[in-house]
Amino acid sequence: MKKTRGSFLECSAPQSFLSIQYTCRRDFPQVDLCNHRPPLMAFASSSSSIVLSKCEFDVFVSFRGADTRHDFTSHLVKYLRGKGIDVFSDAKLRGGEYISLLFDRIEQSKMSIVVFSEDYANSWWCLEEVGKIMQRRKEFNHGVLPIFYKVSKSDVSNQTGSFEAVFQSPTKIFNGDEQKIEELKVALKTASNIRGFVYPENSSEPDFLDEIVKNTFRMLNELSPCVIPDDLPGIESRSKELEKLLMFDNDECVRVVGVLGMTGIGKTTVADIVYKQNFQRFDGYEFLEDIEDNSKRYGLPYLYQKLLHKLLDGENVDVRAQGRPENFLRNKKLFIVLDNVTEEKQIEYLIGKKNVYRQGSRIVIITRDKKLLQKNADATYVVPRLNDREAMELFCLQVFGNHYPTEEFVDLSNDFVCYAKGLPLALKLLGKGLLTHDINYWKKKLEFLQVNPDKELQKELKSSYKALDDDQKSVFLDIACFFRSEKADFVSSILKSDDIDAKDVMRELEEKCLVTISYDRIEMHDLLHAMGKEIGKEKSIRKAGERRRLWNHKDIRDILEHNTGTECVRGIFLNMSEVRRIKLFPAAFTMLSKLKFLKFHSSHCSQWCDNDHIFQCSKVPDHFPDELVYLHWQGYPYDCLPSDFDPKELVDLSLRYSHIKQLWEDEKNTESLRWVDLGQSKDLLNLSGLSRAKNLERLDLEGCTSLDLLGSVKQMNELIYLNLRDCTSLESLPKGFKIKSLKTLILSGCLKLKDFHIISESIESLHLEGTAIERVVEHIESLHSLILLNLKNCEKLKYLPNDLYKLKSLQELVLSGCSALESLPPIKEKMECLEILLMDGTSIKQTPEMSCLSNLKICSFCRPVIDDSTG
């Protein structure tokens, strides 16, 4: 038998977590052995239904107080406590309580440590203990770790030396009970043959105790390994991902890993599983729960002291006197988890710098703020939402106690799972609320949730909102109430002000896991969206006109019909499909002096019906607030905007399907405008009022059939997108019209347009289908960025430019329906980008030179039908 430090023969065990509370017992007071000795077998074992996982304690310590109470055993107890183990103390037990509690404690423990010492066998209680312990080992896999403290293993096994005397007088001690004597002898022999520790006479006791504690952990892990709960679907894969990032097998570095995600996504749960499975690898460890809440309650100094106390094995460390942790922690490999970190100073105060820690140490920072991890973490694990299968399993486990819903609840279960959108917290709370209720209650609850968010869930989610500053709160509520799913660049422009750089604030909200920005779209979880709208309702303010954000049609109607608005109102979004008529008060907008966002739209129809005159007002409103940044009025019923409206703050103007003839008679300060949509405004005659819109990027005039002049467009040097589709009165583009930045030009359906000239060399998409042009410009090679050239159904088109082959970026050329076009110009050079060439419906007789079109993927070519019949 190979021995190491105290002659312990080691056996490996899985690295897993145990919920630890140890019990320890010393010798009981001397009693009359004849009168108070309970028979060994009289203490019946627990029912076989009791399993290790249900044990109240982990370790029972059997020892002879006279031998080791004040030295070795007390040191062992201290080491156990230093490793975070709660040691049972019997100091308050008295008299007969010992008899009733002693064997209960053994039965309630997963394992026992038996300290065999010189006088151990002379205690009748100790012998009874070891007998009971070995009985539990045989019947219930009770773990046993023997320690031979200054005694020989052979003396214990063979009952020789100091273990001999008690068995030489069996009549006096055991009343001549030969069966009991044999049972105790077998118990001692069996215990001595279990791999354990032999006290080293000439070695360090602290090292010896370290080995005992480590192997106690290993035995407990083997007896009761940490099994990932089956009531947490998806947790195993997530914990493995986090473990990969922590790189536990690499002892050559100190590694800090962040765990990031929105409230309720399961950050703490994932980190907790990983902690419980791996903490025993380390010399010191601590999981500091809910830093945000506990730092407010007790202060960071208290938490820091608590952390050091745990990491330093319970030593009383005065931080103010001794200084920073580098004075204490350099010689220990540590595992520290900080839960719910919300501020940089919490990390700085509790953790400090990485270089104060021994290599191999690991630190986990759980937070919903990405910014805190940018400087402090080597890697970040973003906890994902549950997928549909995982979400259904978690929900069903909460409600039905298994992984699948009962047949009658299948559809409703799907609805609730869909509502939660993969958020574990929501699934748990919803499941808890539905437990034991019938199907009618489920239906009513689901209907309620369509209008009102779950109160308990909202309470949990609001913690992330409350942690925001005022600017962040304002931007978050604007997005939740008005601008979710819009383009991020658009939203940042709309919300920008002299005091707020909305782009920076939106980035901060993304870092705090309250919004996501992907492909330039700003989104948020459905439940955060519901929370934001619930907060935005400001139910505590009784008068609608004094609330900041309005979208309820009843509230808005009251304001517009009775002029009850105030300067408190920041935004109004009215879905006009919810109302039939609004008798607009002429001065309704006068009191709304701080209004920034105004939108009237219909969710039921993207177009506008002329018969739907929602607003009843005989004249143009008297006033529009000068602070308007965003004005959308689908079907605007008047022929112009209020004359005194100063649009100096206006960024986005949309009057689609309006009756407007011109915006203003006079020129206005429109330099802030970036987007204008007057599409389908069939009465629009000109663009007066926009000549100073030099920062305009997008202009949509589709379907403005009365528009024949574009003079104001000349000054729009930042214009990127110009849509003139179906402007049937437009005959030509202004001469000298040049816009350097223009990338998309749509002239499709301009039936009177006979002449086209290049207005920008930056154009990428050029749509001329259905126009009356006879030829494209003579020299087109200057359009070096052109990707799409659409000439479909240009029935009068006869010629294409000879330098067409020089369009090296061209990917798609559409000539379908150009019936007068008889030939393609020679393709003298390779057009490697061209993938689509459509020539069906033309009069072209000869196929193009395909050797120069090596990447062509789609080509349509229909030769004209030739009648070769002879009479």
Which residues are known to be catalytic?
Answer: 129
As a whole number of angstroms, the distance between CA 470 and CA 308 comes to: 36
φ and ψ of 269, to 5 deg: -60, -45
- Which residues does residue 721 pair with via DSSP β-bridges, in sequence order? 698, 744
Contacts of 528 (CB under 8 A, 6+ apart): 262, 461, 464, 480, 514, 515
Q: Beta-carbon neighbour count of residue 779 at 10 Å?
A: 12
Sheet holding 334-341, edge to edge: 284-288, 334-341, 362-367, 255-260, 379-382
Contact yes or no for 767/792 (Cβ under 8 A): no
Contact yes or no for 677/702 (Cβ under 8 A): no
As a whole number of angstroms, the distance between CA 589 and CA 706 comes to: 30
Burial (CB count within 10 angstroms: exposed 0-12, middle 13-18, buried 19+), residue 515: buried
Contact yes or no for 715/689 (Cβ under 8 A): no
Cα distances from 63 to residues 116, 135, 312, 706, in angstroms, run: 7, 18, 27, 103
Q: Measure CA of the first residue to CA of the last residue in the chain; give whole Å.
A: 115
Helices of type H across 61-146: 65-68, 72-82, 97-107, 124-140
The β-bridge relationship of strands 698-700 and 721-723 is parallel
- For 272, the 3-state DSSP assignment is helix
- Which residues does residue 582 pair with via DSSP β-bridges, in sequence order? 615
What tokens appear for 323 in the block? Answer: 């200084």
- For 601, the 3-state DSSP assignment is strand
Geometric angle at alpha carbon 92, from 89 and 94, rounded to 5°: 120
- Which residues does residue 487 pair with via DSSP β-bridges, in sequence order? 521
Identify the residue whose tokens are 């945000």. Answer: 292
Contacts of 489 (CB under 8 A, 6+ apart): 520
What tokens appear for 138 in the block? Answer: 């045989």
Contacts of 577 (CB under 8 A, 6+ apart): 602, 603, 604, 605
DSSP letters for 714-773: GG-TT--EEE-TT-TT---PPTT---TT--EEE-TT-TT--------TT-SEEE-TT---
The set of long-range contacts for 775-784, using a CB threshold of 8 Å and a minimum separation of 24, is 775/799, 775/800, 775/801, 776/800, 776/801, 777/801, 779/803, 780/804, 780/806, 780/807, 781/806, 781/807, 782/758, 783/758, 783/807, 784/808, 784/809
Nearest to 508 by CA among 470, 557, 559, 542: 470
On the CB side of 752, CA atoms within 13 Å amount to 13
Cα–chain center distance at 130: 53
On the CB side of 871, CA atoms within 13 Å amount to 0
Cα–chain center distance at 692: 44
Contact yes or no for 801/791 (Cβ under 8 A): no
Per-residue DSSP letter, 305: H
Torsion of CA 138, 144, 150, 153, to 10 degrees: 40
As a whole number of angstroms, the distance between CA 465 and CA 661 comes to: 45
